[in-house]
Amino acid sequence: MFSFTKDTEYALLCLTTMGEKPGEPISARALADTHQISPSLVAKILQKLQRSAILASISGIRGGYVLTRPASSITIEDVVNALHGDPHLVNCSSKDGCERSTICRIGPAMRELQKDMWSVMENTTVADLMKKHRVAAQQE
């Protein structure tokens, strides 16, 4: 079964929180407390997002992390790539290919599925996640 890693889910949680107050630095500790996540794990995730230029770090007593661009221009694909490189959802589309490729009957369909899943991640932004949360909260 395909699922996002815990790191990806936590990164998206942190980014949606940061997107609510763009330009306002927030510490790794504050994000960890808000989402009840290990502070050391949040720090590692934020560092990876910073290395990928999704976040910037601001030093000082009121420092923390800020988004480097609007939440509407940060995609789930950006986040997955920042945390995991360029992961493949199915083995047959990896660089190494699949040892069963000569007898496989599902390869083309699986590659198409992967393409469709990446398309959704490429077209879904942090702002989209924030909006869906607001809509769901209003319906409760």
| pLDDT category of residue 7 using cuts at 50, 70 and 90 | very high
Span 72-91, pLDDT tens digits = 999 999 999 999 887 777 76
Which amino acid appears at position 67 of this protein? L
Left (φ > 0), alpha (ψ -120 to 50) or beta: where does 25 sit?
A: beta
85 and 7 Cβ atoms separated by less than 8 Å: no
Higher pLDDT pick, 49 / 132 = 49
Q: Which of the 8 DSSP states describes residue 37?
A: -
pTM comes to 0.86
**Is pLDDT at 2 greater than 70 in this prediction?**
no
79 and 8 Cβ atoms separated by less than 8 Å: yes
Of 39-53, 71-85, 107-121, give the lowest mean pLDDT range.
107-121
Query: What is the CATH code of the structural domain delimited by 6-139?
Result: 1.10.10.10
Span 120-130, pLDDT tens digits = 999 999 999 99
Q: Which of 74, 75, 76, 56 is nearest to 66 (CA)?
A: 56
